[in-house]
Structure formats: structure tokens, C-alpha cells
Structure 1
Amino acid sequence: MSNIPLTVKRSIELLGLMAIVTIVVIGRDIIMPMLMAFFISIMLLPVYRFLRKKKVPETLAIILPILLVAIFVSLIVWFFSNQIGILVKDFPQIKANVTQHINSLSDWISRITHYNGAEQKAFIQGKSDDLMNMGTSLAGGAAVTLSGVFVFIGLLPIYIYLMLFYKDILLRFIFMWFKTDHHPKVKEAIYETESIIKSYLIGLLIQITYMTILLGGILMLVGIKHALLIGVIFAILNLIPYVGALIGNVIGVLLTLTSSQELWPVLTVLGVIAFVQFLDNNILMPRIVGSKVKINALFAILGVFIGGSIAGVSGMFLALPVVAVLKIIFDRTDMFKQWGVLLGDERPARSPMTFPIFRKKKSVPLKSGTEKEE
């Protein structure tokens, strides 16, 4: 490989990147459940190892952690089903509140524009008909998507069990890809990947817990209806980097508007969400997982959108841990070290345009004053 011209190497890299993306897009229905199962199995490894130390049979040591995950998911499904039932019971009041808000909005539009109430009503009716037609055309697609979700969930326990059961075969396969001289680096990368995935996923579970308690609890104390539902939805959506928080704010506002005819609850919800987000971003989350995943914001956002376009919601959730694993691999491979620099947030102390030393693949001082691979 050392005799291959640099332009050929870069062309091979780009072709390989295009091939990987093509494979993921074509086989996403197979790859995404396996990828999700891989991350969950990494998170369950400590439980599995603990049970094995206690002389629990291997099969039972694998099944028990999977049952814990199934119980956790079942509780989440039960919670949302219960909250949806409450929303259905409140539907008459919700309809009245929405009508009140629409009338207020219509009056405001009439005051600042030349459109009267009849024209606005005709416009809304036309758009409603368009939405109904769109919903009818998408009904079949929704059924297919729902069936895909059930298949996805059904395959996860099987994949998790088999990955834990055959983990030594998978590890041997990985080592056999590399020369013996490179095995120490491979071992280090495997351990670091496991550590980052565990700390990241466990940190996300902790984040969901404290954000639900903080946000839902404060909103309940203030007297906001559906406070716990807003807290859980925002906490789960917040797992999607950058984008999820925006969607969570919108859903929180919509739930508040449907449960009240006044404006102050909406402002309260936005204020509480902003306060909890400030605590999460600047105090709590950096102490839990922020020091483990060093991905710059630009490629974190790009990863979320690319993952979403390839595999939907599951791709958005998995984007950041996948990018983190790729960075670990790139940082330990001379051929791909520049890609690790691109994904990371380690900024050189000075501009590579004026200081040639910062253009090379070696340790350079960072703006924080520490040494890091460039």
C-alpha cells in the first residue's frame, strides 16, 4: 500500500465510502436491527459478566438481561398507552381549546391583513381536505411501517442473544483481519469502543430519567396539564442530537395549547424546557457522557440528518454512537487518521494555513493546551 500514489489512495477511500453508504441504504432493514442489537448487547455486557461470575449458566445469563430490557420497553409502551387514553378522554375539551385558539388567531390575522374570516375558513377547509387526502394515501404506507416496526422489535432479542452467545467468534474474526503486530491496537480500539458505547448509552438512560423528573416534576408543580407526558416525550426526543430538542419544544407547545385556552402555560413550558436544557447541556450531561464522546457539532448534526435519511428515526438515534465508533477506528489507523481529525473537536492551537506543522499526522498542541493526535 505504501507504493500506491496518494491520489489513488484517496480515490479508493471515497469509493469505499460510497460503497458502504450504498450497502447501508439498500440493506437498512437488515443492518439497522443488527446495529441496534450490537449497541444494546454492549450495554448488557456488564450484567452478563456479573451473572457469569456468579456461576449462572451462560444461556440464562444472556436471557435475563434481555428480559430486563423487554420489561423496560414494556413499561414505556404502557406509559404512552395510558397517556394517550387520557388524551382521548379529554378530546372534547381539546377540541374546544383548539377552536378557541384558531378563532383568536383568525381575529389577529383579520386585524393585520385584508383576509376576512370567511376567506380564512375557506383556506383552512381546503388545506384540511388536502391533509385528509394525503392521510388516506399514506394509510397503507403507515401499515407497512408499523409491521416493519414489529419485525424490528421481534428481531432485536434474537440478535442480542446470538451476539452475546457468539461474541468470541466475532472477536476472533476481527483479530484475524489484521496482522499480529497490529493486534495491540485492535485490542485497545475494541476496549475503547466498548467503554464509549456503554458510557454513552447508560448516560442516555440516566439523562432520560433526570430530564423526565426535572421537566415533568417542575411542570406538575406549576400546574401544567400532561406535564409528565411532555417531560417523557422531550427526554426521549432529546436523545436525537440538536434536532430532537427542537421537535420536543414544538410538541410540548402543541400539547399545552390543546389543554389550555390561555397563553401563560405555553410560556411556562418554554421557560422550564429552556432551564432544564441549560442544566442538561452545561452541568449534568458533560459530567455523565460529554467527556467520552468527542464529536464536533457540525458532523454530529450531519450524522443525525444522514442517519435519518438512510434509516429513519432509528438512524437518527444511532448516528452519534456510530460516528464515535468510526472516530475510534480512524484515530488508530494511519491511512484514515485524517478522517478522525475531521470528526473530532480537537482544534489545533494555530491555523494550518500559516503553520505547516499543523498539517501533518502527528501530535500537535491544541487550543486547550493538551497534546492530541492531529
Structure 2
Amino acid sequence: MLSKSHLALDLLGLVLIIFIAFILQDFVIPLLFAIILSVLIYPIVQFFESRLCFNRIISITLAITIFTVIIFTVFVLIGIQFEEIMSKSSRYYVQIERKTTPVFAKLEEILGVNSKDIVGGGKLEVKEIVKQNSSSIIQFLTKSGGILSDFILSPLYMFLFLLYRNFLVSYIYKSTAGIYSKSKTRKILSELYKVQQNYLLGLVSVMIIVGLLNSIGLLILGIDYPFFFGFLCALLLLVPYIGIIIGSLLPALVALATKDSYLYAVGVIGIFGFIQFIEGNFITPKITGNKVSLNAFASILSIVLFSMLWGIPGMILALPITASLKVIFDNSYNLTNFGFLLGEAKEKYFSNKAKNRLKIWKRIRQQKNQNAD
């Protein structure tokens, strides 16, 4: 009876945490981004403090400034290049329409559906899209106020987290004094830091490698703006699994508009899909190693659940938060089963019973042959 009451309380607590996380998302999301990014720039702060003997405030300010300038420069470059591509959108549309008209005509014959019912009768220009959907765009920009506030609040939170880091660690020691020893708490905090740093540095390294591979693939195909599209798709790896799909559509459309054959567009999607396969199965496991050891099933579920909770920011935060939860579960006596569930499954859980029986039969046969000899 006691265990049932404990289970009910645990479930109630979980529901309450999720409810609070949803209601206070405008407060929680920038806070979580700040914690994760603080881990990313902490080595820079440490370098300024220990190697150059700078004041802590100056070190933190310099590190955040460098990080902000890099991010701002990336977005400015993306904006300039994207504006240039959009200036050619009308010409691209004419070419895409010329090439897709025979396809839609064939569909009309096969399916008996008018092409105007599929793509509409008017000319598909970016300006017209903006004009027709102005109310939706305004609504999106209004909602994006929360995103803009995240960019303002996150650096402030990062500064405070890094400034008060020793004080906050002491608070954690005091809060967990009745549950864990100080050495155990230190071990958990160290593991959490390593998991986050491993994930973030690994993600940056993977983005650079994938961006180069994408760009080389587009260069081989002769697609316009290869490095822009290559690294834009790599940047969208921040949104796991979905980012690669979104990132391959733009260069595929440009290929369709600028090349004589449909095969170039198919080739773009094929190359990006192949690179995504290599990234997921070889590059990321090799770089991040076993420190962020989440199985694919848990990863996908976490992305879906966090996207339902917080939208796109939730998809970005899903894996680092889930990896942190696994560390906490692994070090909690009552929650180790959940840590096991999130972790990588060993090879024995994928074995085939018939195959195992065949191995046993072969082993018995070898033993009989040895005895006969």
C-alpha cells in the first residue's frame, strides 16, 4: 500500500513539473539555454582567468562578447546570402514552373486532378506570398517576441551563472547533504558537465564536418551557393532528424530551377540523405563517444515530447536535457531503471533466438568432433 501511495505521489509530482514547465516556459527556456551555453563557453572563461589572470567579471564579459559576435556574424552572413537568393526567386519560379508543368499535366491524365487544384492558378512570387499571408506573418512575429527575449535574457543569465558558479555549487552541496555525500554530489556534477560539454563540442564538430561534406557534394553537382546551403543544412542539425529534411529542400529547388535535368534535385536530396546516414551512424558516435549514450528510441521520444511541450526550442533542448536526466537517474538508487531504459542497448538484446540455437548446435558439434579425434 505504501509503494502504491509513493507511486501516486511520484506521478503527481511528474505531472506538476510538466505543468509548471509549460506554464513558465518563457522563463524556463532561456534559463536552460543559458545553463547549456555557459558550459560551452566556460573553458574560455577559465582560460582568461587562469592563464591570462583576468578578473572574473572581465573574463566572463569577454567570453560572452566573443560568443555573441560569432553568433551575430553567422546570422548576418546567412541573412545577406538569403536575401540574394530571394532576389532571384521570380526567375527560379519561372524555371521550376516550366519543368513541373509537364509533370502536373501527366498527373492530370492519370489522376484526373486539375493542376490548379494542386499549385493554384496565380504566379507564386515571394512578394505575393507575403502579401497574402501578412496576418499569419504578423502573428508569427508577435510570437517570436519570446524568441527575441531569449536572445536578450540568455546572455544575462549566462553572465550570472558563470559569476556565481562557486556559490551555486555550494548551494547544491548543501541541498543534497542528506541524500548524497559531498564526493558523490561532486561526481554527479562532473558527469553532468562532461555530458553537456561533450554534446556541445561534439555538435559543433559534427556541424563543421557535415557542412564541408554537404558543400563538397553540392560543388560536385555544380549547384549555386554550395557553401551557404551546405553549412545552412549543417546548422539545422540543431533540430535533430527534421533539420536535414528542411535543409535539403532549398538547394533541391535551386537545382531544379538552374539545372536541365530533374536528376540534379534528386541528387541533392540523395547526397544530403547519405551524409545524414553517415553522420548518424559513424560521425556523431565517433566524436561524441559513449558519454552521451542515449538510444535512438529514447532520443526520438524525447524530441517528440519536448517539441509538444516547448515547440522548436524544445526540440533543440531535448537531447541535452535527456542526457542530463540519464546521469541523474544512473546515480539515483530508485531511478536506475529509467537510466537503463534511456541508455544504449547492448548487442544481446538484438540477438535472434534461432541464431543463438544455431551457435550452440555448432559448438556442440565442434566438441563432438574434437572428442572423436
TM-score (norm 2): 0.85
Greater Rg over alpha carbons, structure: 2
Give the alignment partner of residue 173 of structure 2, picking from 152, 172, 175. 175
Shift in Å at residue 69 of structure 1?
1.1
1:255 and 1:326, CA in 2 relative to 1: closer, same or farther beyond 3 A? farther
Q: Following the alignment from structure 1 to structure 2, what is the Cα–Cα distance between the partners of residues 322 and 202?
A: 16
Aligned to 1:18: 15
Q: Following the alignment from structure 2 to structure 1, what is the Cα–Cα distance between the partners of residues 185 and 266?
A: 52
Aligned to 1:32: 29
Question: Does the CA contact (< 8 Å) of 2:34 and 2:155 recur in 1?
Answer: yes
Shift in Å at residue 339 of structure 1?
1.6
Given residue 285 of structure 2, which amino acid in structure 1 is its aligned partner? P
Question: Does the CA contact (< 8 Å) of 1:66 and 1:157 recur in 2?
Answer: yes
Q: Following the alignment from structure 1 to structure 2, what is the Cα–Cα distance between the partners of residues 127 and 188?
A: 63
What is the SS of the residue equivalent to 1:238? helix
Which shows bigger deviation, 40-49 or 268-277? 268-277
Question: Does the CA contact (< 8 Å) of 2:295 and 2:343 recur in 1?
Answer: yes
- The CA RMSD measured in Å over matched residues stands at 2.5
Question: Does the CA contact (< 8 Å) of 1:226 and 1:255 recur in 2?
Answer: no
Question: Does the CA contact (< 8 Å) of 1:93 and 1:259 recur in 2?
Answer: no
Q: Following the alignment from structure 2 to structure 1, what is the Cα–Cα distance between the partners of residues 117 and 270?
A: 35
Given residue 105 of structure 1, which amino acid in structure 2 is its aligned partner? V
Question: Does the CA contact (< 8 Å) of 1:230 and 1:255 recur in 2?
Answer: no
Aligned to 2:190: 191
Which shows bigger deviation, 52-61 or 243-252? 243-252
Q: Following the alignment from structure 1 to structure 2, what is the Cα–Cα distance between the partners of residues 44 and 126?
A: 52
* 1:217 and 2:216 correspond: yes
Listed one character per residue, the Cα deviations across residues 4-49 of structure 1 (whole Å, up to 9, x for unaligned) are 8222222222111111111110011110001001000011111111
Aligned to 1:358: none
Q: Following the alignment from structure 2 to structure 1, what is the Cα–Cα distance between the partners of residues 86 and 131?
A: 23
Q: Following the alignment from structure 2 to structure 1, what is the Cα–Cα distance between the partners of residues 240 and 187?
A: 27
Shift in Å at residue 226 of structure 1?
2.8
What is the SS of the residue equivalent to 2:81? helix
1:86 and 1:349, CA in 2 relative to 1: closer, same or farther beyond 3 A? same
1:273 and 1:161, CA in 2 relative to 1: closer, same or farther beyond 3 A? same
Give the alignment partner of residue 52 of structure 1, picking from 34, 46, 49. 49
Question: Does the CA contact (< 8 Å) of 1:175 and 1:183 recur in 2?
Answer: yes
Aligned to 1:322: 321
Q: Following the alignment from structure 2 to structure 1, what is the Cα–Cα distance between the partners of residues 344 and 206?
A: 22
Aligned to 1:120: 115
Q: Following the alignment from structure 1 to structure 2, what is the Cα–Cα distance between the partners of residues 204 and 122?
A: 42
Q: What are the residue-to-residue correspondences of 1:62-141 with 2, within 5 Å?
A: 62-115=60-113, 119-121=114-116, 124-125=119-120, 135-141=133-139
Give the alignment partner of residue 61 of structure 1, picking from 59, 66, 82. 59
Aligned to 1:341: 340
Q: Following the alignment from structure 1 to structure 2, what is the Cα–Cα distance between the partners of residues 258 and 16?
A: 54
Aligned to 1:238: 237
Q: Following the alignment from structure 1 to structure 2, what is the Cα–Cα distance between the partners of residues 26 and 298?
A: 27
Shift in Å at residue 241 of structure 1?
2.6
Aligned to 1:145: 143
1:258 and 1:142, CA in 2 relative to 1: closer, same or farther beyond 3 A? farther
Aligned to 1:372: none
Listed one character per residue, the Cα deviations across residues 292-315 of structure 1 (whole Å, up to 9, x for unaligned) are 211111121111112212222111
The percent identity for this pair of structures is: 24
Which shows bigger deviation, 75-84 or 119-128? 119-128
Q: What are the residue-to-residue correspondences of 1:239-254 with 2, within 5 Å?
A: 239-254=238-253
Question: Which runs of no fewer than 5 residues in structure 1 stay unpaired?
Answer: 352-374
Question: Which runs of no fewer than 5 residues in structure 2 stay unpaired?
Answer: 351-373
Shift in Å at residue 259 of structure 1?
3.9
Q: Following the alignment from structure 1 to structure 2, what is the Cα–Cα distance between the partners of residues 225 and 67?
A: 33
Given residue 287 of structure 2, which amino acid in structure 1 is its aligned partner? I
Shift in Å at residue 89 of structure 1?
2.6
Aligned length: 344
Q: Following the alignment from structure 2 to structure 1, what is the Cα–Cα distance between the partners of residues 222 and 273?
A: 18
What is the SS of the residue equivalent to 1:242? coil
TM-score (norm 1): 0.84
Q: Following the alignment from structure 2 to structure 1, what is the Cα–Cα distance between the partners of residues 77 and 18?
A: 36
Q: Following the alignment from structure 2 to structure 1, what is the Cα–Cα distance between the partners of residues 101 and 288?
A: 46
Shift in Å at residue 189 of structure 1?
0.7
Q: Following the alignment from structure 1 to structure 2, what is the Cα–Cα distance between the partners of residues 342 and 252?
A: 39
Q: Following the alignment from structure 1 to structure 2, what is the Cα–Cα distance between the partners of residues 91 and 134?
A: 17
Shift in Å at residue 218 of structure 1?
2.6
Q: Following the alignment from structure 2 to structure 1, what is the Cα–Cα distance between the partners of residues 213 and 186?
A: 40
Aligned to 1:301: 300
1:22 and 1:112, CA in 2 relative to 1: closer, same or farther beyond 3 A? same
Q: Following the alignment from structure 1 to structure 2, what is the Cα–Cα distance between the partners of residues 61 and 133?
A: 47
